[in-house]
Amino acid sequence: MLGSPDVEAVLAWSAGRRDDLPWRQTRDPWGVLVSELMLQQTQVSRVIPRWHQFLARFPSAAACAKAPLGDVVTEWAGLGYNRRAVNLHRAAVAVVEHHGGVVPNELTELLALPGIGPYTARAVLAFAFEHDVAVVDTNVGRILARQRGERLSVKDAQKFADDIVPIGMGWSWNQGLLDVGALICTKRSPRCGECPTSSSCRWFQAGTVAPDPAIGSAAVSKGQSKFEGSFREGRARLLDVLRTGVEVSPEHFRAACGWMNRDEGEADAKRAAESLVRDGLAIKRRDGALSLP
């Protein structure tokens, strides 16, 4: 049907594809939760070894909750978006305190965990518990908008996605759509001739004329600003110094950020330090020095 992906075509195309991804070989809810937080805006190739490494050190929510937050932040080094490490630790503590160390399998309970949003909660339900719920990330959001040939609101995108999940196939269907979006229905130069959803795609059937309905549609990312030379880079450098286990005093913030030759470097370094404390990635000592929590 035009505007709704062909279930059989998607499942046939995706069968066996990327089954070597380690988080697709488990139904352990903790392992799935860790993978989903790691995969947010981080390349799959970078996540694979780190996922194994993280779970070797923190094999359960209880193990993660018991560890100091600083250990979790240190283990997260190189994955970017370090706030996710704080969220994961906070979620692990809540799982232990409110669910006996067992990751819950209800949407409302998952959404109540600190730092867990609609996408992550539904991903855990679909990929750990095999519930028939729709997982809508930026790749799936792009497919949905192009299928309908129009921009979609958050509510409309989620409802559309929920309506087309085939009964009893939540796991394989969501994995299939994620792969179509990541490998075929890409942001730039989509490979429509190879796409298992092209026969039902209104945008393709209309000749893929501009504007692309995915642009500005719900769940579709707008891209990140350049990292090199940015405030985020300096902030990350400061955190990397803290990960070595040392305290960094205020007079060394600027050097740790790598901003000795940067205009407004001292003010920016102070702001970076304050943001780390605000995000829970560092704690401020009595003398103003920073250390890991």
Predicted confidence (pLDDT) per residue in 130-177, tens digit: 999 999 999 999 999 999 999 999 999 999 999 999 999 999 999 999
Active site residue 36: yes
Tell me, what's the pLDDT at 241?
97
**Given 36, 106, 130, 264, which residue is catalytic?**
36
Instruction: Report the alpha-carbon distance of residue 94 to residue 64 in Å, rounded.
Output: 11
Number of domains present in the structure of the chain: 3
Same domain (yes/no): 50, 76? yes
Tell me which of 98, 127, 156 is where a domain ends. 127
User: Which tokens sit at 232?
Assistant: 């985020």
Domain-terminating residue out of 127, 156, 178? 127
- Domain residues for the domain of 254 are 231-291
Residue 223 lies in a domain: no
159 and 119 co-located in one domain: no
96-108 pLDDT tens trace: 999 999 999 999 9
**Of 127, 147, 179, which one is at a domain's C-terminal end?**
127
Q: Which residues pair with 28 in a beta bridge?
A: none
* Residues 221-234, mean pLDDT to the nearest whole number: 76
What pTM did the predictor assign?
0.91
The answer to whether residues 144 and 220 touch, using CB atoms and an 8 Å cutoff, is no
Q: Does some domain include residue 279?
A: yes
Average pLDDT for 63-87: 96
